[in-house]
Amino acid sequence: MNTSKKISISKLSVIGAGQIGPDILLHFAKTFAKQNIQLILVDVAEAALQNAQKKIEKKIAKGVEAGAFKPEMADAMKKIIKYTLNYPDITGSELVIEAATEDENIKDKIFRSVESLTDEKCIYLSNSSHMQPEVIFRNIKNKSRCLVAHYFFPAEINPVVELVPGKDTNPALLTNLLSFYEAIGKVPIKVKSSYGYAIDPIFEGICQIATICFEKGWGTEKEIDAAAVKALGLGVGPFTALNLTGGNPITAHGLDEMNKQLMPWFKTPKSLHEKTQKKEAWNTAQRGEKVELSAEKEEKLVKEFRGGFFALATYILDIGIVDINDLNMACEMSLVIKAPFTFMNKLGINVSYDLVKAFCTTHPSFPFPKVLDKAKTEGGWKIKDIVTAKREDVLLITIRRPKVLNALNLDVLGQIKAAMEEVKNDNSIKSVVITGFGTKAFVSGADINMLASLKTPEEGINNSKNFQTVVDYVENYSKPVVCAMNGFAFGGGNELAMACTARICKKGLPVLVCQPEVNLGFIPGAGGTQRLPRIVGVEKAAEILRTGRSVSAKEAAEIGLVYKEAEGNLVDEAVKLAKQIASGEVKAKTVPKEPISKNGDPKQVEIGHLSKKIDEILVKAIYEGSRMSLKEGLDLESRMFGECMKTQDMKIGLENFKTNGPKAKANFIHK
């Protein structure tokens, strides 16, 4: 049985074996294979079920081939799935997800059947891409357990799920489903009931813009696709996306409905209707085919796409159905596109404002979004990568950057500091818990692009000191700060954790902590060379830091790096510990501020292929730092981090990481 917060699942059913139902089921099979949860895929057509089974088993086989999971895992995944034409087989399900045709009468008929076969506790989700829950569930007696869960293509891989409650949905259910989806590796966002929800009007609006440009003769389908990719950072162009997803019919229908329900600008272009009726694909570039555009044509199309994209994103914000941070993040991840509000800030709010103004002028049926005026006045969009909440007298801070596994940069650290400053003098808040979003990583490290942009020793020293300033603030905060390590903490993530009053982690993690900097040709710069020796001892810390090896949750608890491994809900346990420390019931072991060692020469450590030059710098930081006060040691660390900038090995290490990934060994030259 799977339990996440207050949702327990022993049997789950998906209805609809067409385009997306099998992919939704496949994700649950990956998640629940080891827990022996029963999964049902039901459809009224034998051929659809057979095709679904072939599709699922083919994807499972590819997963084994790629090393994503072992053959025994594949067998377990296949074993828990039942394919059936018999609707009563869903009886006993705690969760039913409908993924049938986008037709309100079909969906209504399905859920009325489901209601007759399931009990009052069963949760009903519809994977509609457009329809409001009030329409889909209009004839269900108990509407409090009904809402839309809109997945994106391909559903087993794409992390985003829009959760759309109806007016009668129980708010507690929505809260629990947000936790449930996070626990199974998805990135859920909350969207108010509105036709098309938050993301599809943007995607389908981009498709509409592409089609209008095509009809105006501004370029071929291939050229327009290429310009859209360049303009918006798309993974594939809009015409290619429509071909891949079989999206012509649903987009054509969606645009016509949005014309009635959202605003007159939305309208299915003639050529999209024709492609739908003739069941034709768009003429797009083949894999590897290079498409050249004239500079004049490219400039015109890029301006149109950016103006339209920004107009669409701000329109969705204007109608008030979604939080800006959710929309910014979900757009980027679901559509493989640049995060709209971050992108506008990067281009400059005045430039972005003018692009939207020009777009709305040439598209008079598109009203200029009011929120843009406010953003221009304020000098840009205020976007956060953290989520804050109050749990009784505890402030909970969640670092939420799922695309980069919660990697830290100075903006994120600044947001953490600002959130803590805000409640510093609030007597109703007694302590703080910091955790990460999702189940894989607390923090995957410092943002590599930020590190790669450093060029001089002075830039390196300043970067290290800027990180240390926020980390020091956490360490010296006037209230207890507990780090709830929900997954692995690499590099800067572990350095942030070590500055907290106490750390707890999920039990049984084979990899919890790693300071992998030496693999990339530099040393820790946010306190790692100073706090780790003070927590676990100089020799143990030196071995961990110099080899860049990982530490399991079990070892972390044994050497005192974490207070304990949590067997229950991690955040609940962290909140409990924070309250106990604040009340004095638990005495936390603090990091010593004074010198901790009079050690002489360091012990011999086998570092393999790693840079001897970087090791020399690291050894100096660890051992000399241990003979200093923490403050002096941190200053030494910053200077040593700057020394790394002078080496060729730092350039080699970072370039190898960016080109070949984290598992490839760099060919260091020890200079």
- DSSP letter assigned to residue 604: P
Q: Is residue 46 annotated as part of the catalytic site, yes or no?
A: no
Which tokens sit at 326? Answer: 């959710």
- In total, the chain counts a number of residues equal to 671
Position 598, amino acid: K
Tell me if 663 sits within 8 A of 526, measured CB to CB: no
Look at phi and psi of residue 172 and say left if phi exceeds 0, alpha if psi is from -120 to 50, else beta: alpha
3-class DSSP state of 661: coil
d(CA 406, CA 481): 19
| Whether the Cβ atoms of residue 137 and residue 169 lie closer than 8 Å to each other | no
Rounded distance, CA 5 to CA 19, Å? 31
What is the rounded CA–CA span in Å between residue 409 and residue 398?
15
146 CB contacts (<8 Å, ≥6 apart)?
111, 124, 125, 126, 133, 136, 137, 140, 166, 168, 169
HSE (side-chain half, CA atoms, 13 Å) at 216: 12
3-state helix, strand, coil in the chain (%, to 5): 50, 15, 35
Task: Give the distance between the most distant pair of CA atoms in the chain.
Answer: 81
- Which one of the listed residues 115, 332, 495, 573 is annotated catalytic? 495
Indicate which residue of 517, 573, 637, 643 is catalytic.
517
Integer Cα distance of 423 and 430 in angstroms: 9
Strands 146-151 and 160-165: antiparallel
* Residue 496 DSSP class: H
Q: Which amino acid is at 34?
A: K
Half-sphere exposure in the Cβ direction for 548 (13 Å, CA):
21
List the structure tokens of 346. 């990067």
Q: Any residues with CB less than 8 A from the CB of 187 and at least 6 apart, and which?
A: 159, 160, 161, 181, 329, 330, 333, 402, 437, 438
**Secondary structure of 277-290 in the HEC alphabet?**
HHCCCCCCCCCCCC
| Known catalytic residue at 517 | yes
Rounded-to-integer distance, Cα 143 and Cα 642, Å = 60
Positions marked catalytic: 495, 517
